[in-house]
Structure 1
Amino acid sequence: MAALYLVPSLLSDSSWQLVLPAAVVPILTETKYFIVENVRTARRFMKLIDKNIDIDTLTFFELNKHTGQHEIENFLKPAEENNNMAVLTEAGCPGVADPGAEVVRLAHKKGIKVVPVSGPSSIILALMASGLNGQNFTFNGYLPVKKDKLKKTISILEEKAVRKKQTQIFIETPYRNNLLLSS
């Protein structure tokens, strides 16, 4: 039975050997079909892992916010034909604050074996380093962009944090950090 491997990628310029398991190498070198956010970045990451990978023999399906549902369903055709596939994200773990979640949902629906590979997650690393409650936490994804909705959401999250003694985790793009901090 074919598998859909969820392969984590680097969060920083660290040597990949320090943060990714060795199991990543055979997955990347033996798999011929990849679902990626950005083909150029994925190719560069794969060459970093193994310089001998023949990139030109591989098939890449690009998954981003513009990808339609019909396209996503077609991405999984190789796995339905018993070929292993891998999902690569831009940074961190596929399917976590990442468009790969929809591919994983469809793979389960189609009976394709899904195999997550352990690796770095900025969300868990932030929780670990925070000193906040790691027994009761919620990941809220990206917060609203519009300032009025952002302020309202932050107010709700603050209330939850106090009432439930619950750590509230969210992520933000670097260019919106100043707006977030001023809210």
Structure 2
Amino acid sequence: MYGKLYLVATPIGNLGDITFRAVETLKTVDLIACEDKRVSGKLLDHYGIKGKLMTYNDPNKFKSAPLIIERLRGGEDAALITDAGSPGISDPGFHLVRSAIDEGIEVQAVPGPSALIYALTVSGLPLHNFVFEGFLPPKGSKRNKRMDILVEEKRTIVLYESPHRLLSTLKSLYEKLGNRRAVIARELTKMHEEILRSDLEKLVAKYETEKPRGEFVLIVEGKN
């Protein structure tokens, strides 16, 4: 009998933001696949969970996924966690999930924190329809094509962005979309959490004189 693959959501900053079910699942599975043992190790140590860790990330996913699948086929249960939030969203989790499904292995989610949902709910922008773009391509024609599509997007737009590309992305959005309402959600649930409700023009001006720090969710209103 095959084991089960559990997709376990973990805190996006505050270690207290994890469900009882998630902790119990991590304690009982035979294997925990994680992006970075150093990051996940802090969470597991906090809840007294020892061992079980195996690295599964973007560089090694094609090598690690078959090893995890083999153990699942052997009857062991495994959990997939990401550095922060829900596995499979802007991380390599999709490949393992698809592989498990193709092998007839049961996949269950243990839901919990998500920076995407947190940022949306506090943004003050319309929530009834939205589109999640994750990380835009860093440069070149692929990036330009995505920007061109967003020009006509009527739904609220949600992006993830790194500190070193934030200003470039804000400038590109301002040039392509014009000055729309926008929200920056930074370092969510952490000590220096910040929610900036503004517009693209003001956010460009802010980060032209201020170095971005932390992890960012960027939300932009859709075309009227």
**Aligned match of 2:215:** none
Give yes or no for the alignment of 1:9 onto 2:10. Answer: yes
**Aligned match of 1:54:** 50
Return the letter of the residue paired with 1:131. G
> In structure 1, what is the Cα distance between the partners aligned to 2:131 and 2:42?
33
Deviating 4+ runs (over 6 angstroms): none
Return the letter of the residue paired with 2:50. D
> In structure 2, what is the Cα distance between the partners aligned to 1:136 and 1:170?
15
Contact 2:44 2:50 in 1 (8 A): no
**Aligned match of 1:93:** 86
| Higher RCO by CA contacts (8 Å cutoff, separation 6 or greater) | 1
Offset of 1:153 from its aligned partner? Answer: 2.9
Offset of 1:148 from its aligned partner? Answer: 6.7
Contact 2:58 2:91 in 1 (8 A): no
**Aligned match of 2:209:** none
Aligned counterparts, 1:22-171, within 5 A: 22-48=20-46, 50-51=47-48, 53-55=49-51, 58=52, 60-146=53-139, 150=143, 153-161=146-154, 166-171=155-160
Q: Give 1 or 2 for the bigger CA radius of gyration.
A: 2
SS in 1 for 2:107: strand
SS in 2 for 1:46: helix
Contact 2:15 2:43 in 1 (8 A): no
**Aligned match of 2:204:** none
> In structure 1, what is the Cα distance between the partners aligned to 2:166 and 2:97?
30
> In structure 1, what is the Cα distance between the partners aligned to 2:139 and 2:38?
31
Offset of 1:65 from its aligned partner? Answer: 2.1
> In structure 2, what is the Cα distance between the partners aligned to 1:182 and 1:148?
17
Offset of 1:142 from its aligned partner? Answer: 1.0
> In structure 2, what is the Cα distance between the partners aligned to 1:77 and 1:25?
24
> In structure 2, what is the Cα distance between the partners aligned to 1:31 and 1:106?
19
Change (3 A) 1:38 1:147: same
Q: Select between 63-72 and 95-104 the one with higher mean Cα deviation.
A: 63-72
Contact 1:140 1:168 in 2 (8 A): yes
Q: Which structure is higher in helix share?
A: 1
TM-score, structure 1 as length reference: 0.83
Aligned residues: 171
Q: Which structure is higher in strand share?
A: 2
> In structure 1, what is the Cα distance between the partners aligned to 2:170 and 2:157?
15
Contact 1:36 1:63 in 2 (8 A): yes
TM-score, structure 2 as length reference: 0.69
